[in-house]
Amino acid sequence: MADRRNGNKPVCVGRGVVLRLDPNLIELRRQQFGSNTIPPKPPKTFLKLVLEAANDKILIILIIAAVLSFALSFVPSKGAVLALLADPHSEYQWIETVGIMFAVVVVVLVTALNDYQKEKQFIGLYGQITKDKHFSITRGGRLINVNVSDIVVGDICHLKYGDLIPTDGLILHSNDLRVDESSLTGESDIVKKNKTDNPLVYSGRGNT
């Protein structure tokens, strides 16, 4: 069964014919189909993290209570006048409100700062993991070891037990290949793959 994938030379499944990628076409393939990477999700801005931290229900209740208390502290009333006469320092009760607001601001900023640091660490870790992933491939008739991001359409990847599949592709040869596709399909059963009945494999799935 022959299939012209992506308009290139035919990939033949079940007949033993293998696509041989010319090394001179690497950059052209990368321009046509892109690099074999998934860009990390853009990190949230510090302002957005501040807004998310301030969206906590307890903090919202404290803010509302503090604002009401602050506003009422400036509203004169008969009771307030009598209280002021009894205690001259009662006019400074608004300081408690300011203290509550200050505490809320500190909690929000500390929470947002911690989340911001986690975002930066995650991006750094993602880049390091991607950088350290290497796979054996056949390119232009030669067996070479390349970073996962350098794999292009037409490369032949050699996988061993326990490897994550580095890219979507077709099986050219396998020996009792079983793949964990639970994160893709939601099914917990391990899927058997071979080059005739079920030749498609997908990036990120586990080779078990």
> 74-118, pLDDT tens digit by residue?
655 545 544 444 444 555 667 777 888 888 899 999 999 999 998
- Token pair of 133 as six digits: 């992933």
Contacts 24+ apart (CB under 8 A), 68-77: 69/94, 69/96, 69/97, 69/100, 70/94, 70/97, 70/98, 70/101, 73/97
Q: Tell me the average pLDDT across 26-47.
A: 82
134-207 CATH choice from 1.10.1660.10, 2.160.10.10, 2.70.150.10, 1.10.1060.10: 2.70.150.10
Handedness of CA 117, 119, 123, 128 (dihedral sign): positive
Task: Report yes or no: 69 and 98 within 8 Å, Cβ to Cβ.
Answer: no
pTM (predicted TM-score): 0.52
Query: Residue written as tokens 């491939």?
Result: 137
Query: Residue written as tokens 């046509």?
Result: 32
**pLDDT attached to residue 207:** 67
Pairing of strands 206-207, 177-180: antiparallel
**pLDDT attached to residue 81:** 46
Domain boundaries of the chain, sorted by first residue: 46-130, 134-207
Least confidently predicted of 29-38, 122-131, 138-147, 187-196: 122-131
Q: How far is CA 49 from CA 66, 107, 111, in A?
A: 22, 12, 8
**pLDDT attached to residue 106:** 92
More confident residue, 184 or 147: 147
Query: Residue written as tokens 């998310």?
Result: 52
Helix (H, G, I), strand (E, B) or coil at 101: helix
Give 20's pLDDT tier (boundaries 50, 70, 90): low
Helix (H, G, I), strand (E, B) or coil at 172: coil
- Token pair of 46 as six digits: 């510090």
Give 4's pLDDT tier (boundaries 50, 70, 90): very low
CA atoms within 13 A on the CB side of 45: 3
Q: Tell me the average pLDDT across 36-54.
A: 85
Helix (H, G, I), strand (E, B) or coil at 127: helix
